[in-house]
Each structure stands twice: as C-alpha cells, then as structure tokens.
Amino acid sequence: MKKKIVVAITGASGAIYADLLLKKLNQLKDQIAEVAIVMSDNAKDVWRFELDNEDYNKHSYKFYAKNDFMAPFASGSAKFDTMVIVPCSMGTLGRIASGVSDDLICRAADVILKERRKLILVARDTPFNLIHIRNMETVTEAGGIICPAIPSYYSKPKTIEELALTVVNRIIDLIGLEHESYRWSSE
C-alpha cells in the first residue's frame, strides 16, 4: 500500500531536516500516494533564518494553512498512515501531550494518535527539562515515536547535509519506506 504522509514543520532549530526529508520523499514518490505539508509561523521564521531561503514554497506537495481544520488529515476518515513533525518544538510537543488541538498540526497529531496510526516527532531542544521529558513519555505512552534530532557519526559524515541525513534516513526507515542508506555493519 502506498503511504499517505503528513509532514508538519514547527519552529525548533533544524529546518534542514524538513528540507532534506521533503527532498528524499520526492525521490521515493513511487512508494507514496500523497504528501501533505503544514507549517507553523515560527517554522517559516526559523527556516528563513537558518537556511536563508523560502524553499518550503518550492516543494511540489500540497500546503495547508496552519488553521485549516477543513484539511483532509484533520479527520481520521481521510486515512493518512503517518505524520512526521520535523523538527518538533517543545511547544508543539507540549500541546500534543496535553491534547490541545488548537491548530492543524496539533489536531492532525491528535487524530493520528486516536486512530492508532504512526506519529513520529523529531523533537529538538537541548538540554531537556522535566516537562519536556514527561511530555515525551506521555506521547510515547499514547503510541507516538520520539525520534530526536540527534545525528550519528559512525557513517563518518563529511558535510552538514550528510550529518543531517543520518537523522532523515532514520525517519524514512520509521515511515517504512525502502531506500538506500548507510547500514551499520561491524565487518
């Protein structure tokens, strides 16, 4: 079955993860039925600041406004399989953990959890306070997956992009898409 995926982008540091994920999903489009995007206002600010562009407008997927509760994935009946929040701010994490569905991102996450589908939060901050950790516990207990924006080094990445891809490739694995990626082998 081809995947129906919501990509939500929030105002944590790490816009590069969202950019690379959207590019990689485009490369894997034969496995995907639909990708829908929603961004918070803060996400747009952070993207412009960190990447010095507005290329989120250049991705070919359908964009939904942050308060568009008429979006298909605001209802479980639209049967989106997976939602990735990348990067996921502590504010958005907290609203999801509290069941506050006051914008499309939090409503869609609420829907994915109630429908027992896959919610992947690429949470980003450092250090974490106890509220963040408890919110991650709550979302995990509700069925969500915390996939923190923590890169790995054992593939010996040479550029910032290669380093960021160590996170993005794990997200692609979690979505359940087949793709080429570094795979650890001690041999």
Ligand X SMILES: Cc1cc2nc3c(=O)[nH]c(=O)nc-3n(C[C@H](O)[C@H](O)[C@H](O)COP(=O)(O)O)c2cc1C
* Residue 38 · residue 64 · CB < 8 Å: yes
C-alpha torsion 108→110→114→119, nearest 10: 70
For ligand X, which stretch binds (CB under 6 A), given 18-26, 43-51, 69-77, 160-168?
Answer: 43-51
User: Exposed/middle/buried for 38, CB within 10 Å: 0-12, 13-18, 19+?
Assistant: buried
Place of tokens 């509760």: 69
Which residue among 21, 40, 113, 168 contacts ligand X (CB under 6 A)? 40
Q: What is d(CA 162, CA 183) in angstroms, rounded to the nearest whole number?
A: 14
Q: Is the dihedral of CA 152, 157, 159, 161 positive or negative?
A: negative
Name which position in 90, 108, 172, 177 contacts ligand X (CB under 6 A).
90
Q: Interacting stretch for ligand X, rule CB under 6 A, among 27-35, 36-44, 150-158, 177-185?
A: 36-44
- Site for ligand X (CB under 6 A): which residue of 46, 104, 120, 177? 46
Say how many Å lie between the first and final Cα of the chain, rounded. Answer: 34
Which of 46/177 has CB closer to ligand X? 46
Measured at the alpha carbon of residue 19, what is the angle toward residues 14 and 21, in degrees to the nearest 5?
Answer: 100
Residues in 92-151 that interact with ligand X by CB under 6 A: 92, 124-125
- Quick one: 32 or 86, whose CB is closer to ligand X? 86
For binding to ligand X (CB under 6 A), which residues are involved? 10-13, 40, 42-43, 45-46, 49, 89-92, 124-125
Annotated binding site for dimethylallyl phosphate: 154, 170
Annotated binding site: 11-13, 40, 89-92, 124, 154, 170
Annotated binding site for FMN: 11-13, 40, 89-92, 124
